Structure 1
Amino acid sequence: MRVLHLLPMNKLSGAERVGLLICKHMTGVESFVLTGGEELANVFINEGVEAYPVHFSIKNMLGLTSRLKAFIEEKNIDLIHAHDNLASLAAILTQKRYGLTIKVVSHIHNCYPWLTTGGIIQKIDRWVRPQYDHNIACGKIVFDYYQANATYFKPEKTTILSNAIDLESLESVSTHRVNELKETFNLPSNQTIIGYIGRLSEQKGMIPFIKALPTFKEAFQDCKLLIVGSGEQEDEVKQLVEELGLADLFIFAGFQSDVYPFYQLMDIFFLPSLYEGLPMVLLEAVGSGVPTISMNVGSIEEVIIPEKTGVLIEPNNHNEFVKHLVRFKNDVSLREQVAKNGAEHVQSKFNINEYNRLLKAVYGQIVG
């Protein structure tokens, strides 16, 4: 079987990491990837996956569907696995425009707010979602959210596959590399390192998190906040940190293509997101044994069992989030317990090999 993955972005973020792990570890399937740029394509190529950059955009849809048709015919593709909405739209329009028999799987990676607020994206989804041959929801709560908010959603054409991680690679991080990063970012050994990995975008809730910090600033004098990532809000985040007099607390590491060593630098991982699917960074942090506090959004509660495998905070209350972050920081015993429980939970439930076994079966059912 030959499967084409569509990944419209040009950075290795959550959905892209899912695609990479599928391509690297699935046996008996020949995988190809079209990405939104050379940077991401090279990540796949360096892992031995055949990948090419293309220009994904609504304005370029005619050219994109033409390019997809040519690639499908050249590589004899049996199935398109489209990650998120733009990729899924491009796949189904290619199928319909050229009357292709190829199957299209749409992978839902988020609890999208536009499902409840409406707008043009929701209208497009209402038209195309029923036409996909199959959907994959990245978690049970993501599935439930779609079913509750989209009357056109077809649960019988949807498989729930909670995201999974490569535990072997996560555990084989070089101590030399970790020590090298400590020196590069001048991380003090006598302070608590509270870390975040991910995009700096509105979805991730970094702005309201920072706005809630000044009230509790004194409680973080023995800490550094290590921020790993970039995005459209990066300049705004840094400016806000300066304006609020918090610059001495923050260390910005920028985008990192290999984030695995950074988990070993962190005493606590935090995720203040406004909405999510099932974040790969959360699975990786908890799986690495990093005590984790997160907003209870998307399918995160599949991973974080409150006060057992981490700390969960109800959505959109960033003051409460920071308050409990202080509590978590100060309760070393709780951190040790949830770190142990969390690592065991992720290692038993979210392994990429089992994930790929189930996904391969889904492919087989769809293609026939």
Structure 2
Amino acid sequence: MHEITILQLIKGLDIGGKNGGDSRFCVDLSKQLAKIGYKIILCNFFVMNTSSEKGFLKDLEKSNIKTIQLVNWSEQNKYFHYLQSIRKLEGSLKNREINIIQSHFQLGAIASIYLKTKNRNIKIIRTVHNIKEYEEGTIGLLKRSLFAERIYPAKLDAEVGVSQAIVEQLRAHPGASQHPEKIHLIHNAIDLPEKLPDIKPPHAEGQPFIIGSVGRLAEQKGYRFLLAAMPEVLKAIPGCELHLAGEGEEKAKLMAIAAELGISSQVKFRGYLGNISEFLTGLDLFISSSLWEGLPTAILEAIMAGVPVLATDIAGNRELIQHGKTGWLVPPADAQALARGIIYAYQHPELRHHFAEEARAILPQFSIQTVTEQYAQLYQRLLAGAV
């Protein structure tokens, strides 16, 4: 096979801080693609200079994946820096033969369209990781109308949704009716070990019941509702602890809410953690309180760790958890529903164990090996002109 070079575009490598599961998935996908013979260049648009970013850069270097670091992140000048980053990327690609550009964030998709004007032979793909791509209000509506509904369907060679809900959203765009063959479903995925950890045993008598979540401390994750549920939870489960792994822009706000509710001693903000598996196996119940998602890999990682899951009943979560069969689903943005669900799960340890076992049946279809093969097939079809 002629060596195929794929340029992966991500917003950043500060995974667990400014960046989330989309960047983590891209790292895992890139490593797996490199294993099966693809040449991968991973472009990090916005440099954060955090310990998380440095750790992932070392990991990529060990996998012989070349990285391109573009510009330092600045919230105040982000659009100027974005334009600067495109110019820098264009310069970095001189004398490099790129076959495919795959973007994992909005501005990356725009950059790939621009880069294709310089080389019409390049195939360009965007992977959509979130059901809610744009901000609320007039500006968000204009962006969606211009880019998602018109420019992307016309200019991109393929659009990939990581969940069925996202694929349906892509197909509903006006421009997609002209190019339905460009839209594909390829799930997010995780790297499964050869042997899965044991299912989480019931928590020991006299030990605190520990619930927790993994993700950026951002509005999307709905943590303010989870915190609001804790006073009711603590009435029924004295000593219960909530552990949150991750960093993000809402950290100070969430800590203030915990203090205002008088629950600071029972809420542990764990920050960025390099070993998420160890964190997850320490939980008695994993909580996803998200308000919207694409296909959350954090839930998959909890299932892999053998931890039962209680999640909000939203698109994406519903593709991973069947209520009353493999976990619990509760309405989003509802602190009382979260509290009732947590208390019920605590009171039914046999169901927690049963659901944790049953949930694992879905894992093979979400393995990084399976999903990488699906992407490889898409790349080959694009290069052969079959899409």
The Cα offsets for residues 6-56 of structure 1, whole Å up to 9 and x where unpaired, read as 111231230112111111112121111011225253442244321121127
1:137-152 correspondence runs (5 A): 137-148=161-172, 150-152=173-175
Gaps of 5+ in 2: 199-204
Match of 1:183 in 2: none
Partner of 1:15: 22
Aligned residue for 1:44, secondary structure, equals: helix
Distance in 2, Cα, partners of 1:111 & 1:170: 32
Could you report, residue by residue, the CA deviation over 1:312-365 in whole angstroms, capped at 9, with x for unpaired residues? 12333332122111111221011000011112322x321111111111010111
Q: Distance in 2 between matches of 1:308 and 1:155?
A: 34
The answer to whether the Cα contact below 8 Å between 2:197 and 2:306 also exists between their aligned partners in 1 is no
Could you say which residue in structure 1 is the equivalent of 2:271?
Answer: 254
Confirm whether residue 285 of structure 1 aligns to residue 302 of structure 2. yes
1:2 is matched with 5
CA contact (8 A) 2:216 2:248 kept: yes
What whole-Å deviation, never above 9, does each CA across 1:230-261 have from its counterpart, x for those lacking one? 10000100111011101121111101233122
Contact 2:232 2:339 in 1 (8 A): no
Residue type of the partner of 1:73?
A: K
SS at match of 1:191: coil
CA distance in 1, matches of 2:134, 2:42: 28
Counterpart-to-counterpart distance in 2, 1:195 and 1:312: 16
In the TM superposition, what are the counterparts of 1:219-298 in structure 2 within 5 Å? 219-298=236-315
1:24 aligns with 2:48: no
Say whether the 8 Å CA contact 1:289–1:340 is kept in structure 2.
yes
Between the aligned partners of 2:109 and 2:345, the Cα distance in structure 1 is 40
Counting only pairs closer than 5 Å after superposition, residues 1-150 of structure 1 correspond to structure 2 as: 1-12=4-15, 13-26=20-33, 27-35=36-44, 36-37=46-47, 39=53, 40-55=56-71, 57-96=78-117, 98-112=118-132, 114=134, 118-122=140-144, 123-130=146-153, 131-148=155-172, 150=173
Deviation at 1:170, TM superposition (A): 8.4
Alignment pair present for 1:197 and 2:197: no
Instruction: Provide the rounded CA distance (Å) in 2 between the counterparts of 1:68 and 1:245.
Output: 49
Question: Could you tell me the percent identity over the aligned residues?
Answer: 23
Change (3 A) 1:300 1:235: same
Q: What one-letter code is carried by the residue in structure 2 that aligns with 1:112?
A: K
Q: Report SS of the residue matched to 2:175.
A: coil
Corresponding letter in the other structure for 1:242? A
**Alpha-carbon distance change, 92 to 103 in structure 1, aligned in 2, over 3 angstroms:** same
Contact 1:209 1:318 in 2 (8 A): yes
Contact 2:233 2:240 in 1 (8 A): no
Separation (CA, whole Å) in 1 of partners of 2:111 and 2:206: 49
The 1:323–1:155 alpha-carbon spacing in structure 2 relative to 1, beyond 3 Å, is farther
Deviations 1:77-108 (A, max 9, x none): 11111002121122112223x35431110010
Give the TM-score normalised by the residue count of structure 2.
0.84
Q: Distance in 2 between matches of 1:58 and 1:94?
A: 18
* Conservation of the 8 A alpha-carbon contact between 1:32 and 1:50: yes
Q: Secondary structure of 2:210's match? A: strand
Indicate if the aligned counterparts of 1:4 and 1:77 stay in contact, CA closer than 8 A: yes
Q: 1:20 to 1:293 in 2, by over 3 A?
A: same
CA contact (8 A) 2:326 2:358 kept: yes
Aligned pairs for 1:156-195 within 5 A: 156-168=181-193, 171=196, 190-195=207-212
3-state SS of the aligned residue for 1:11?
A: coil
What is the count of residue pairs matched by the alignment?
Answer: 352
